[in-house]
């Protein structure tokens, strides 16, 4: 992510149009917000719109606004996103889903900085900076006739590619700690230990859903954790094929065993009592001893204790 941050700092002070590329869940909106906040426009509106989330029949009105009576149900005039974002920034997410019939009007905003509301002939000047994002290959869409070439070139002034989480595994421990602190804080809990086995499993996962998937996994884990040690719930990771030579994922039993061993080490082998491993893991002493036997942790080392 160092390269991405460098590009953000470089382009933010300018008014250049930025195209952020990356898989779903990689944090493209965070990059767009950083560009906005580090610019001279940071004190003004950051207006976002997901082009894939709004029906094509309403998209023109959402972007450019409409006058009263412009269409059935338009009982009042309404400003669009480009007017609302005056002196600020408009973030167009999933720009690859923009309908072909609206692309010329968007191109005009990029080139001439002007447009008309739906149902009006009055030209409105636009002073909004445009930052767009896509998880699709726009060049391929151009080749397929699904995206205008001139619009693509206008958006592609300053492209920033956000790498997938599996391409930057070194960032995962930092993100895990950040999300644990965030969600534990919201729930008023204190989770102070992330076992090595748990972190290894998180770092080793492929994360097809990227940061969004990691965030959801950690939130679920924090909700289900009752002690001070983060617990990944069973079936956290569903198996995903990655080719014949892909490393075999650790089984849940392996992860649970490593989790218990790490907790026992953290409690100096104390199993029972308010500071014992059973309490930390959120279970009673007999349950922990049963799981230890089932997982092959037959007896604690002599330095460990079963309680005070």
CA atoms within 13 A on the CB side of 293: 5
pLDDT at residue 33 tops 60:
yes
Q: What is the mean pLDDT of residues 54-80?
A: 85
Distance CA 225, CA 191 (A): 8
Helix/strand/coil percent split, the chain, to 5: 45, 10, 45
Distance CA 130, CA 88 (A): 9
Q: Mean pLDDT: which of 4-18, 43-57, 69-83 is highest?
A: 4-18
Distance CA 47, CA 61 (A): 15
CB 61 within 8 Å of CB 118: yes
Dihedral sign, CA of 248, 252, 257, 258? positive
pLDDT at 304: 47
CA angle 196, 202, 206 (to 5 degrees): 145
Q: Which residues pair with 116 in a beta bridge?
A: 123
Mean pLDDT, all residues of the chain: 86
Name the CATH superfamily housing domain 2-163. Answer: P-loop containing nucleotide triphosphate hydrolases (3.40.50.300)
pLDDT at residue 19 tops 80:
yes
Q: Where are the alpha helices (DSSP H) in the chain?
A: 2-11, 28-37, 56-64, 81-84, 103-112, 138-143, 149-155, 172-187, 196-204, 210-224, 252-266, 277-280, 285-294
| C-alpha distance from residue 88 to each of 12, 49, 108, 133 (Å) | 12, 14, 18, 17
pLDDT at 251: 59
Going by C-alpha positions, the residue among 158, 137, 126 that lies closest to residue 17 is: 158
Dihedral pair phi/psi, residue 141, rounded to 5°: -65, -35
Distance CA 20, CA 31 (A): 8
169-294: which CATH number, 1.10.287.130, 1.10.8.60, 3.40.640.10, 3.40.50.720?
A: 1.10.8.60
pLDDT at residue 193 tops 70:
yes
Domain ranges of the chain: 2-163, 169-294
- Which of the residue ranges 130-144, 218-232, 291-305 would you say has the lowest mean pLDDT? 291-305
pLDDT at 186: 92
pLDDT at 297: 80
pLDDT at 305: 47
């Amino acid at each position: 992510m160092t390269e991405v941050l460098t590009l953000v700092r470089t382009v933010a002070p300018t008014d250049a149009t930025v195209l952020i590329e990356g898989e779903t869940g990689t944090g493209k909106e965070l990059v767009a917000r950083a560009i906005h906040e580090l610019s001279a426009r940071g004190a003004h509106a950051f207006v976002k719109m997901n082009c894939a989330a709004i029906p094509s029949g309403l998209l023109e009105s959402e972007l450019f606004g409409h006058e009263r009576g412009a269409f059935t149900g338009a009982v009042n005039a309404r400003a669009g996103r480009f007017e609302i974002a005056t002196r600020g920034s408009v973030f167009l997410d999933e720009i690859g889903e923009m309908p072909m019939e609206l692309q010329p009007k968007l191109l005009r905003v990029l080139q001439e900085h002007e447009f008309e509301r739906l149902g009006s002939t009055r030209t409105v000047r636009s002073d909004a900076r445009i930052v767009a994002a896509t998880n699709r290959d726009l060049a391929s869409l151009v080749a397929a006739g699904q995206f205008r070439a001139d619009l693509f070139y206008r958006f592609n002034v300053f492209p920033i590619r956000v790498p997938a989480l599996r391409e930057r595994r070194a960032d995962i421990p930092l993100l895990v700690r950040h999300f644990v602190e965030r969600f534990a804080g919201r729930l008023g809990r204190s989770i102070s230990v992330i076992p090595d086995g748990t972190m290894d499993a998180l770092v080793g996962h492929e994360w097809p859903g990227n940061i969004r998937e990691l965030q959801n996994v950690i939130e679920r884990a924090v909700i289900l954790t009752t002690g001070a040690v983060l617990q990944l719930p069973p079936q956290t990771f569903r198996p995903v094929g990655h080719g014949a030579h892909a490393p075999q994922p650790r089984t849940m039993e392996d992860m649970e065993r490593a989790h218990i061993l790490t907790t026992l080490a953290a409690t100096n082998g104390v199993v029972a009592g308010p500071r014992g491993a059973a309490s930390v893991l959120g279970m009673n002493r007999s349950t922990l001893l049963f799981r230890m036997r089932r997982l092959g942790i037959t007896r604690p080392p002599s330095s460990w204790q079963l309680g005070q």
